[in-house]
């Protein structure tokens, strides 16, 4: 027997859906923790988010683009991420317009109205085909919702919350954030705005980010269960310094001033309006001698040791922001200081050049040209095809980057990362610049990548994730230390091992606070002994 979507009744994977009373209540982190718990319990879990709006993306092994959260969740599951885990990715380009990525490949740009009127009615099949393939492959599929299921203006064409739960016949756990206040009102209010058949799908609540004495909260929990007839499955503690990659730039609000304390190296990341893949700098922020700050104005820039221009979904638009805000001049002033470096990643790399050209209106709704910051003799043209690929290699033997290595073997430093860009960048004066890296794409030959000034003060690359290469990261930071007259630090941490430890840390916290026996029962599964 087949259902509407062509999936036979042989599908075996249990499903569980995590929805929230609002955005940023902790759905992604809780889903990640559950992925790791089920893996620890000997099962084969997989994540799924039908539609994701994010500028932080992840490149799969086959060179496709999905939301960063689903990539991290797949890593927590111990499996390779695929586009089935996030078949539809929405990447905002400007207000009310976004690039629509379907199964990892850009489809088109649409306004919010066109997306709702013309795309969503056809999206159900895409979503369910992807989910059913996962259900045929894994033991459990953890389905993450988006925003709130009670957005009554959006519910009739919903493909990511309660409609999807109904199509998949999935039980729902509703998550709410007590730290923002009004937790009982948000839960009860959400239920009040759901249809009766939707309320029946809600099998439990999780209250997230609790600080204080649980006994003082207990009367409220008892009231909630009596009022709704739905159990509270757990009250999760507020976990500080979660080091799982975020997909929403709202987290940067808490990173404006960086760490507390006096770190020896101060790195300023420019936070423009369409910042993307800001997780490129997470690995730097975890070094003990480094403070990473996200700044939006000249006053916030201060006197950093390095200025980092991150990726962006709107290079020309965010370049205009630098000029209008006064940051262009402030960056130039700080870069003139002797030991300061200016580094661009992807869109930031494009900005460092002399000219940007968008002949196909890739980034905007009309043809645009712009003058770059002019630090490097480069020009970038935006093409209609997007480059999404993983890359690996080593530092170029003649690289100009100021790197400090005790063994003086910088060219042997391995690097890896990934590329996501629609621009092609050309050098117009190779005598003034030196290539940075020697890399290769899977199955391809090696080639030079990135350019820097011969004195190493200004350099740029298309490689996202570069600073997760442990030896390179520490050697570059030691170069900054050397420029300030500081002794190098000879040890660093493993970014890969730290990520695995973090998955285990959040899983342990969740397991200790959540009634996992009831979670298994909700899915119709037997909990392991």
Q: What is the pLDDT along the chain (529 residues), one digit of tens a residue?
A: 334 444 444 668 999 999 999 999 999 999 999 999 999 999 999 999 999 998 889 999 999 999 999 999 999 999 999 999 999 999 988 777 899 999 999 999 899 999 999 999 999 999 999 999 999 999 999 999 999 999 999 999 999 999 999 999 999 999 999 999 999 999 999 999 999 999 999 999 999 999 999 999 999 999 999 999 999 999 999 988 788 877 665 566 655 667 767 899 999 999 999 999 999 999 999 999 999 999 999 999 999 999 999 999 999 999 999 999 999 999 999 999 999 999 999 999 999 999 999 998 887 667 789 999 999 999 999 999 999 999 999 999 989 999 887 665 555 799 999 999 999 999 999 999 999 999 999 999 999 999 999 999 999 999 999 999 999 999 999 999 999 999 999 899 999 999 999 999 999 999 999 999 999 999 999 998 8
Rounded Cα distance, 246 and 357, in Å: 31
Active site includes 394? Answer: no
Alpha helices for 154-308 (secondary structure H): 162-168, 183-192, 196-199, 214-228, 282-285, 298-301
Whole-number pLDDT of residue 248 = 64
CA 508 to chain centre: 23
Other Cβ atoms closer than 10 A to 513:
18
Active-site residue identified among 103, 346, 394, 396: 346
150 contacts 194 by C-beta, under 8 angstroms: yes
Residue 185 CB-half CA count within 13 A: 3
**Residue 365 pLDDT:** 64
Query: Long-range pairs for 56-61 at CB < 8 Å and ≥24 separation?
Result: 56/245, 56/246, 56/247, 56/248, 56/249, 56/276, 56/277, 56/278, 56/279, 57/89, 57/91, 57/276, 57/277, 57/420, 59/388, 59/389, 59/390, 59/418, 59/419, 59/420, 60/104, 61/390, 61/442
Please tell me the predicted confidence (pLDDT) of residue 263: 92
Catalytic residue among 103, 404, 421, 464: 464
Q: Which two tokens stand for residue 413?
A: 């430093």
Residue whose entry in the numeric block shows the structure tokens 């790197």: 403
Residues 6 or more apart in contact with residue 13 via CB below 8 angstroms: 46, 134, 135, 136, 137, 138, 139, 140, 141
What pLDDT does 7 receive? 44
- Contact present, 330 and 298 (Cβ < 8 Å): yes
- Our answer to whether residue 464 is catalytic in this structure is yes
Give the full edge-to-edge strand order of the sheet including 88-94: 51-53, 88-94, 97-102, 105-111
């Amino acid at each position: 027997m087949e259902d509407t979507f062509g999936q036979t009744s042989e599908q075996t994977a249990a499903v569980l859906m995590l929805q929230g009373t609002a955005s940023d209540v902790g759905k992604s982190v809780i889903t990640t923790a559950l992925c790791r718990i089920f893996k620890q319990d000997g099962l084969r879990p997989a994540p799924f988010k039908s539609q994701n709006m994010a500028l932080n993306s992840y490149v799969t092994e086959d060179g496709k683009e999905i939301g960063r959260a689903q990539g991290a969740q797949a890593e927590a599951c111990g499996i390779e991420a695929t586009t089935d885990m996030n078949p539809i990715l929405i990447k905002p380009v400007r207000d009310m317009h976004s690039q629509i990525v379907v199964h990892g490949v850009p489809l088109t740009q649409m306004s919010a109205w066109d997306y709702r009127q013309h795309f969503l009615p056809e999206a159900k099949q895409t979503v369910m085909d992807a989910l059913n393939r996962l259900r045929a492959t894994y033991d459990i599929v953890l389905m993450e919702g988006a925003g709130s299921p009670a957005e009554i203006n959006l519910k009739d064409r919903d493909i990511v919350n309660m409609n999807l739960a109904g199509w998949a016949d999935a039980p729902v756990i509703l998550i709410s954030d007590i730290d923002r206040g009004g937790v009982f009102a948000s839960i009860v209010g959400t239920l009040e705005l759901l249809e009766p058949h939707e309320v029946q799908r809600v099998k439990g609540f999780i209250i997230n980010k609790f600080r204080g004495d649980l006994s003082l909260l207990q009367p409220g929990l008892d009231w909630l269960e009596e009022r709704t007839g739905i159990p509270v499955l757990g009250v999760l503690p507020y976990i500080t310094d979660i080091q799982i990659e975020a997909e929403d730039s709202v987290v940067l609000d808490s990173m404006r001033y960086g760490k507390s304390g006096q770190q020896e190296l101060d790195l300023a990341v420019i936070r423009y309006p369409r910042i993307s893949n800001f997780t490129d700098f997470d690995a730097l922020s975890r070094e003990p001698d480094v403070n990473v700050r996200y700044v939006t104005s000249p006053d916030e820039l201060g006197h950093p040791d390095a200025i980092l221009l991150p990726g962006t979904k709107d290079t020309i638009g965010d370049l205009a922001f630098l000029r209008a805000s006064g940051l262009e001049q402030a960056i130039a002033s700080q870069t003139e200081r002797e030991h300061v470096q200016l580094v661009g990643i992807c869109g930031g790399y494009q900005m460092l050049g002399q000219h940007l050209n968008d002949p196909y209106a890739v980034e905007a709704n009309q043809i645009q040209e712009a003058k770059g910051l002019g630090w490097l003799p480069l020009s970038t043209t935006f093409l209609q095809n997007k480059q999404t690929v993983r890359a690996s290699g080593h530092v170029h033997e003649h690289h100009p980057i100021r790197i400090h290595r005790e063994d003086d073997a910088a060219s042997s430093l391995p690097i890896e990362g990934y590329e996501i860009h629609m621009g092609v960048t050309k050098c117009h004066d190779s005598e003034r610049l030196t290539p940075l890296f020697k890399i290769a794409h899977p199955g391809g030959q090696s080639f030079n990548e990135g350019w820097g000034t011969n004195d190493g003060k200004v350099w740029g690359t298309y490689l996202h994730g570069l600073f997760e290469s442990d030896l390179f990261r520490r050697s570059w930071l030691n170069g900054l230390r050397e420029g300030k007259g500081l002794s190098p630090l000879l040890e660093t941490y493993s970014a890969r091992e730290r990520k695995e430890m973090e998955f285990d840390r959040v899983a342990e916290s969740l397991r200790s606070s959540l009634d996992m026996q009831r979670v298994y029962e909700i899915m119709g599964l037997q909990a392991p002994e």
